[in-house]
Amino acid sequence: MALLSVEGVTRRFGGIVAVDDVSLDVGEGEIVGLIGPNGAGKTTVFNLITRLYRPESGEIAFAGESLLRTPPHGVVRRGIARTFQNVELFGSMTVLEHVLMGRHARRGRRARKILGYVGVAAHAHRLARELPYGLQKRVELARALASGPRLLLLDEPAGGLNHEEVEELGGLIRRLRDDFELTVLLVEHHMGLVMGAAERVHVLDFGRRIASGTPAEVQNDPAVIEAYLGTTNG
C-alpha cells in the first residue's frame, strides 16, 4: 500500500484547470520526483496534499486514511511536512527559534541536533534573514524535519542554489531518507538533482499526468520530451 495516494484529483481556479484528474502514489521509504514545465500544476498538487486547497473531485489518502477532512493545521500532526518554493522564514526569529517552532515545543537538544545534521548549527543564534539564501533553505528544511514527519514534501529545494550546493543537496536528501526513515516527494526543475536522487518520477503537463516511471524511462518518454522541448525524437 502506498504511503501517499492521490486519485483522480482535480482543482480549478476560475476557468483554468490547474490539476486535471491527476493520480499518483508514493511508496513508504521512496524518493519520488514530481516534475513538469512551469505552470504544470506541481505546487498546486502540494497545496492540495497539505490542504491549503480543496480538490473539486478525487481522493487524497495518507497511510491508508483520507486527508480530505483534515484541516491544514492538522496535516503536520498526521506526519506530513513541507518546504516552500520561496523560502518562508520569519525575519525576527533566530535559526534555532525556527526549528523549535517546528517542534511546537522547547526541546533545544533535538533542535540543535537537526541544525547540525543540515549544516547550520554554527548559525543557531543568528537571525535567519541574515543568512545567505542557500543556508536559509537549510533552515527551512530543518524546521520541516523538526516536526518528525513520515512524508517530506520538498518544493524546488535547489532553487537559487549554485552547482556545488545542488550536488550537496542531492546527497543530503538521500541521507535524510535513510537516517530519518522518511518518504520524500520532490518538486524540482533541476533535472540532474531529480534524476540522481529519485527512484521514480511522475510528470505533469498542463495539469495532467503524462508519464510515470524510473528516471531513465521518463527521460526517454516522447511525451515528456515534447512537453519540455516542444518536439519528439521522431
Alpha-carbon gap, residue 177 to 79, rounded angstroms: 14
- The residues that bridge with 25 in the sheet, in sequence order, are 5
Q: Radius of gyration of the chain from Cα atoms?
A: 18
Among residues 47, 44, 131, the alpha carbon closest in space to that of 89 is found at 131
H/E stretch holding 187 reads strand 183-187
Angle at 205 between CA 220 and CA 159, to 5 degrees: 85
Residue 184: per-residue pLDDT: 98
5 DSSP β-pair partners: 25, 61
Q: What is the pLDDT of residue 233?
A: 43
Give per-10-residue mean pLDDT for the chain (234 aa): 94 95 97 94 96 96 96 93 87 90 65 92 93 91 93 93 90 95 95 93 96 94 85 45
Grid coordinates representing 121 are 548549527
Supply the pLDDT for residue 69.
Answer: 94
The reported pLDDT for the residue numbered 11 is 98
**CA distance readout (Å), 52 to 48, 87, 128, 185:** 6, 17, 25, 17
Predicted local distance difference test score (pLDDT) of residue 229: 65
Q: What is the pLDDT of residue 103?
A: 60
Residue 195: per-residue pLDDT: 92
Q: What was the pLDDT predicted at 101?
A: 79
Which DSSP category does 122 fall into? G
The H or E element that residue 224 is part of is helix 222-229
